[in-house]
Amino acid sequence: MRIAMVSYEVYPFAKVGGLADVVGALPKYIERQGLTVDIFMPYHKKVDENAPKFGYTIEKVSEAIPVPQLLTEEKFDIYKTTLPGSRNVNVFLISNRYYFSANEVYEGPDLAEQAIFFSDAVLESIKKLDFNYDVIHVNDWQTALIPVYLKSVYKNDEKLSKIASVLTIHNLGYQGIFEPSYMKFAGLPDYLFSIDGIEFYGNINFLKGGILFADVINTVSPTYAREIQAKEYGEKLDGVLRVRSADLYGILNGIDYEEYNPETDKRIYVNYNLETVEKKRENKRMLQRELGLPERDVPMIGMINRLVDQKGLDIMAEVMDYVSLFDMQFVLLGTGDEKYEEMFKSLGEKYPEKYSINLKFDIVLAQRIYAGADMFLMPSRYEPCGLGQMYSLRYGTIPIVRYTGGLADTVKEYDPQTKDGNGFGFEPYDPAYLLKAIAKALYYYNEKEHWITLIRNAMTTDLSWDKSAKEYVKLYQRAKSKVQ
Ligand SMILES: Nc1ncnc2c1ncn2[C@@H]1O[C@H](COP(=O)(O)OP(=O)(O)O[C@H]2O[C@H](CO)[C@@H](O)[C@H](O)[C@H]2O)[C@@H](O)[C@H]1O
């Protein structure tokens, strides 16, 4: 089977959040299952910026290809590189100066036009390139129109009509909702502007289109796949998801065990494994030094996040003054909404000996926090899967989470009787429960025998992609069986 995987972000070429990590790792593991995978992504400015750091080279494959389907004269070029660490995963970069010259991945002159242009350009590239794909695997709203095109405009196209589609929802909170006028730009037939199509409360909704028209849909954890079919987590698409529930799966993300390995990770200060885990302390000391925190043996809580409502920062705001009463340190790395940046900045100013607030994107510092911190906080309001808690488990850093979505599927409450469990957490979205979970973790930090057991349980949790990659292969087979 040959798979075309389509995404706006792919590590290491351009990364904003977890989507990049998934599409940068999963193809390597699918390839090991004997399939062939190619990636299609926009040629963002970031791709050139990251090239010297990661040592990939880029060549031009084809140029000035039109998109006759769309209401634009813009053309695109195709460039090609290879996914580092893969055997043979081609990465095709769709280049167009007008749409893709912003500094950031999710910026541009018009985000709706940009996503439509990219989606159609991918299909035009597939027509042009000499490969026969069995499945197009699209990710999130930016690429969710591809299944819509396949089942409407291209349903009689000799090549494209034979390709099945899979949509992965990494975050239902972002849907791509725009004015109906974009139907015309996209060249989509009018009949699609209906309740059974991409119409959504008078607008158009790209993700809804993907959910209705992809042959198979999945999200990134079994719990989130269940949660989003009910009103509380459904973001107004729960009804549409229930319509497709027979074709909706939940496959837990994995993490790249080669890239994220405390034994070999070159970005951390001192390497370690389960047998030499006491070296974590050295990582903490060096991190304290780098960040200007007092070099003491106090429990350190880390947090690395996009600073947005999803991440539970409003309930955190209510408890951090109380958490600050403990002898502890807190290290934040993140960027996002101004109100949250301000909240963390003022905590840093109020308690300079306890807080290190780093409002930037820095993948080296991220690894140093995963390795150096003792605990990792992720009190998300909702979390489709969550990778932060998985990286921290792998690095022996104990997660404190809200049990929702993938957090509930990967973190298990520590039981001091049975010595089972790899972290701490809470369920009701309520600051009092969050405070209790943090206090509990801080308590067990001082119960050294329990803490060592926790670290052992964390580091031996199976989070590899191997199992999930096999699930994706089955998903592709299911999708393929629907178009024959
Ligand atoms: N300032 C910063 N500097 C450096 N690195 C930073 C950073 N801010 C965040 N990161 C990194 O970005 C990634 C975040 O991934 P998550 O999966 O935790 O959340 P995200 O909401 O982005 O992903 C969405 O998609 C993924 C993938 O499916 C789902 O796991 C998740 O639940 C869903 O919300 C981690 O690798 C983290 O280290």
Average pLDDT estimate for 297-313: 97
10 Å CB burial of residue 353 (0-12, 13-18, 19+) is exposed
Please choose from 249, 364, 377, 387 the residue to mutate so as to test ligand 1's pocket, defined by most ligand atoms within 8 A of CB: 387
Residue 246 has pLDDT above 90, yes or no: yes
Taking the C-alpha atoms of residue 379 and residue 305, their distance in angstroms, rounded to an integer, is 11
Distance 17 CA to ligand 1 centre (A): 4
10 Å CB burial of residue 436 (0-12, 13-18, 19+) is middle
Verify whether ligand 1 is closer than 6 Å to residue 385 (CB atom): yes
pLDDT of residue 266: 97
Spell out the domains of the chain, with CATH numbers in brackets: 2-254+466-481 (3.40.50.2000), 274-463 (3.40.50.2000)
Taking the C-alpha atoms of residue 175 and residue 359, their distance in angstroms, rounded to an integer, is 26
Please choose from 140, 268, 304 the residue to mutate so as to test ligand 1's pocket, defined by most ligand atoms within 8 A of CB: 304
Q: 216-219 and 300-307 as β-strands: parallel, antiparallel, unpaired?
A: unpaired
DSSP character string of 365-412? HHHHHHHH-SEEEE--S--SS-SHHHHHHHTT-EEEEES-HHHHHH--
Taking the C-alpha atoms of residue 207 and residue 170, their distance in angstroms, rounded to an integer, is 11
Distance 73 CA to ligand 1 centre (A): 36
Average pLDDT estimate for 84-97: 97
Can you list the positions of beta strands (E) in 104-149? 135-139
Percent of the chain whose predicted confidence (pLDDT) is above 70? 100
Taking the C-alpha atoms of residue 170 and residue 66, their distance in angstroms, rounded to an integer, is 30
Torsion angle, alpha carbons of 396, 400, 401, 406, to 10 = 10
The alpha carbon of 257 is separated from its chain's Cα centroid by a whole number of angstroms, namely 16
pLDDT of residue 65: 98
Q: What is the pLDDT of residues 122-158, one digit of tens each?
A: 999 999 998 999 999 999 999 999 999 999 999 999 9
Spell out the alpha helix ranges (H) of 129-245: 145-151, 182-186, 206-213, 222-227, 231-234, 238-243
Taking the CB of residue 64, how many other CB atoms lie within 10 A of it? Answer: 7
3-state helix, strand, coil in the chain (%, to 5): 40, 20, 40
The sign one gets for the Cα dihedral 52, 56, 59, 61 is negative
Count of residues making up the chain: 484
Taking the C-alpha atoms of residue 133 and residue 120, their distance in angstroms, rounded to an integer, is 16
Can you list the positions of beta strands (E) in 88-215? 90-95, 135-139, 164-169, 177-178, 199-200, 203-205
Reduced to 3 states, what is the DSSP secondary structure of residue 203?
strand
Q: What is the pLDDT of residues 403-421, one digit of tens each?
A: 999 999 999 999 999 999 9
Residue 212 has pLDDT above 90, yes or no: yes
Helix orientation angle between 313-323 and 338-350, rounded to the nearest 10 degrees:
0
Average pLDDT estimate for 157-185: 97
- CB half-sphere exposure, 332, CA atoms < 13 A: 25
Residue 474 has pLDDT above 90, yes or no: yes
Residue with tokens 């699609």: 192
Please choose from 220, 305, 468 the residue to mutate so as to test ligand 1's pocket, defined by most ligand atoms within 8 A of CB: 305
Verify whether ligand 1 is closer than 6 Å to residue 105 (CB atom): no
pLDDT of residue 184: 97
Distance 68 CA to ligand 1 centre (A): 36
Task: State how far the alpha carbon of 476 is from the alpha carbons of 37, 215, 360, 444, 463, in Å.
Answer: 12, 10, 37, 44, 22
Q: Which of 162, 62, 57, 75 is nearest to 120 (CA)?
A: 75
Torsion angle, alpha carbons of 176, 235, 18, 224, to 10 = -140
What would you measure as the largest C-alpha separation in the chain, in angstroms? 68
- Output phi, psi for 459, to 5 deg: -70, -20
Contact by Cβ (8 Å): 287, 331: yes
Average pLDDT estimate for 329-348: 98
Verify whether ligand 1 is closer than 6 Å to residue 210 (CB atom): no
Distance 360 CA to ligand 1 centre (A): 14
Residue 484 has pLDDT above 80, yes or no: no
Ligand 1 atom at shortest distance from the alpha carbon of 21? 36
Distance 173 CA to ligand 1 centre (A): 14
Taking the C-alpha atoms of residue 388 and residue 376, their distance in angstroms, rounded to an integer, is 8
pLDDT of residue 211: 98
Contact by Cβ (8 Å): 394, 459: yes
Mean pLDDT of all residues belonging to the chain: 97
Residue 241 has pLDDT above 80, yes or no: yes
